[in-house]
Structure 1
């Protein structure tokens, strides 16, 4: 089994696509006006409008801007550099400036336009670096 994508459902598809293109530097692939994907080396972030919910059984199956349990995480080379690059873009969305966590990652937490929590992180301890380089 392989996790291949995470899909965000939103009522504001264009602003969400634009936000994720800006923070990742990845151009979204627009398949329809209601669906786009940002592909990384390891997974895909899909963004669908609420209109796509009709294909999954109706609007009650997912509610946009209601997530309070999942964190969308991106492994980045240098979280401090990313924070400097995105500081003005994220100024009103910052939850936590770069902070070293007890498990060895330095994390920057912020919210996307729908309020979803996003974590940019860089492994900084020996154990954490080894975990993400496959040298365990």
Structure 2
């Protein structure tokens, strides 16, 4: 994948849509492009949150562990960002992310992510909206659990 194709992939992510292509090129250049096979783990719950991931191709599964119990919370596809919550609140990873298919992801380091949020208020708003949507979906699932 070339830098230009990575820029095009980043432009598909709602929070990056309004960012200048030159900045996206810099982001693509400073990010690590990683490839995972189905079943590979991108990161584990409770690990240090040092980066976020943008899913460029494929889908990932979000898993929570509590004691011996594992719960699949959701699946996310192309254009999704994972890992941003722990980075934002400086806490360990809140979930384990597993490749649900072949996955290509861009790994964005903590400082680069914060630089983007500072430079582009519209990106900060997009991150907040995405997190709010996920919280709303999680709340709906919790309310649907039989008591």
Same fold (TM over 0.5): no
Give me the TM-score of the superposition, normalised by structure 1. 0.31
Give 1 or 2: higher helix fraction: 2
